[in-house]
Amino acid sequence: MKKVEIFADKRATNYDSFVETWIPNYHYFMSIVPSLIEGAKGDNLLVAGCGTGTEIKTILDASPSWKVTGVDPSKEMINQAKERFSRNNSVKLMEGVVSDLPNEPVFHAATLLLVLHFMPDDGTKLNLLKTISKRLHKHSPFVIFDITGSPDQMSENLEILRHLIPKGLPAEDINDRVERIKNNLFTVSEERIYELLIGAGFSKPVRFFQNSIYMGWRCYKS
Ligand SMILES: C[S@@+](CC[C@H](N)C(=O)[O-])C[C@H]1O[C@@H](n2cnc3c(N)ncnc32)[C@H](O)[C@@H]1O
């Protein structure tokens, strides 16, 4: 039985340097996100699983007019975000999950970055996507980023990932990370991601980013 990942203790406090190491071109990916939600019909943004607030910072640096609601169930992660935005009145942060927010379509855009792969595909992924969809106005953009692939594609792309991470990391760390991805995450194929998004009330997604096992898409609330 796979374990659901918990972002606590060291895993939370080292999170920012962890992603820089293990996600090739993470900065490039993040730099595209603000443009992909431009043109939304209002300025309320939902950042589901906001973690330490990385995407909130990137989005606000590019477009300061967004009013952001960030939610994350990990106390350690959201506390880092709270500290980061303590002087920014446009950012509301809540320790919790999306279903804790009022069940009303008040948001004009949403992001879900590096969250869905932690959830089993037993209704839990679909439920989270539906919970987000219900809180969005029609035609709102939704950006999603996830570790993705059928089992064969995951094996092949994990081999590619080994070549793309910074040189000089101990082989043991690389093997541990690859094993953790193989054994602890609930990855699904891109086709399944499409099915889930469409089933949750979004338009057919368009992939705008891929680097080894990491893929990013944009779709709209139907
Ligand atoms: C890998 S981090 C991603 C953080 C941030 N989105 C980023 O890209 O840097 C995954 C986050 O998802 C959060 N998470 C786990 N289950 C969640 C849920 N049901 N709803 C929202 N966030 C969740 C975790 O606490 C963690 O902070």
| pLDDT surpasses 70 at 133 | yes
Residue 182: count other Cβ atoms within 10 Å of its Cβ. Answer: 14
**Within a domain: 1:** no
Q: Is the pLDDT of residue 11 over 70?
A: no
CATH code for position 35: 3.40.50.150
Tally the C-alpha atoms within 13 A of residue 161's C-alpha that lie toward its C-beta: 26
- Identify the pLDDT of residue 9: 61
**For ligand 1, what atom is nearest to the CA of residue 97?**
20
pLDDT in tens, 189-203: 999 999 999 999 999
**CB atoms closer than 10 angstroms to residue 132:** 25
Q: Minimal CA–CA distance to 105: which of 129, 128, 133, 136?
A: 136
Read off the pLDDT of each residue in 6-30 and give the average, rounded to a whole number: 79
Q: What is the distance between the alpha carbons of residues 44 and 109, in angstroms, rounded to a whole number?
A: 7
pLDDT band at 18 (very low <50, low <70, confident <90, very high): confident
Residue 3 in domain: no
Structural domain boundaries, residue 50: 9-220
Confidence of residue 1 (pLDDT cuts 50, 70, 90): very low
Q: What pLDDT is recorded for position 14?
A: 75
How many domains, in total, are found in the chain?
A: 1
For ligand 1, atom 26: residue with the closest CA: 51
Residue 55 lies in a domain: yes
- Whether 219 contacts 202, CB under 8 Å: yes
73 lines ligand 1 (CB under 6 A): yes
Residue with structure tokens 């990932």? 161
* pLDDT at residue 2 is higher than 60: no
Residue 15 has pLDDT above 80, yes or no: no
**Protein residue closest via CA to atom 11 of ligand 1:** 49
In a domain, 191, yes or no: yes
SS3 217: strand
pLDDT digit string, tens, across residues 35-64: 999 999 999 999 999 999 999 999 999 999
Count CA atoms within 13 Å of residue 35 on its CB side. 6
Does residue 137 sit within a domain? yes
Tens digits of residue pLDDT in 150-178: 999 999 999 999 999 989 889 999 999 99
Residue 6 has pLDDT above 60, yes or no: no
- Determine whether the shortest distance from the Cβ of 49 to ligand 1 is under 6 A: yes
Q: Is residue 2 a part of any domain in this protein?
A: no
Atom 14 of ligand 1: nearest residue by CA position: 49
- Tell me whether residue 4 is in a domain: no
pLDDT at 20: 84
**For residue 215, which amino acid is it?**
M
What is the reported pTM?
Answer: 0.94
Is 105 a member of any domain?
yes
**Test site for ligand 1: of 72, 185, 187, most ligand atoms within 8 A of the Cβ:** 72
Token pair listed for 9 = 């203790």
Is the pLDDT score of 4 beyond 80?
A: no
Range with lowest mean pLDDT among 4-13, 114-123, 186-195, 201-210: 4-13
Contact 119, 125 (CB under 8 A): yes
Backbone angle region of 163, left / alpha / beta, with phi > 0 → left and psi within -120 to 50 → alpha: alpha
Compute CA 132 distance to the chain's CA centroid, rounded to the nearest angstrom.
Answer: 13
Could you report the per-residue pLDDT of 77-106, keeping only the tens digit for each? 999 999 999 999 999 999 999 999 999 999
Amino acid at position 16, single letter: D
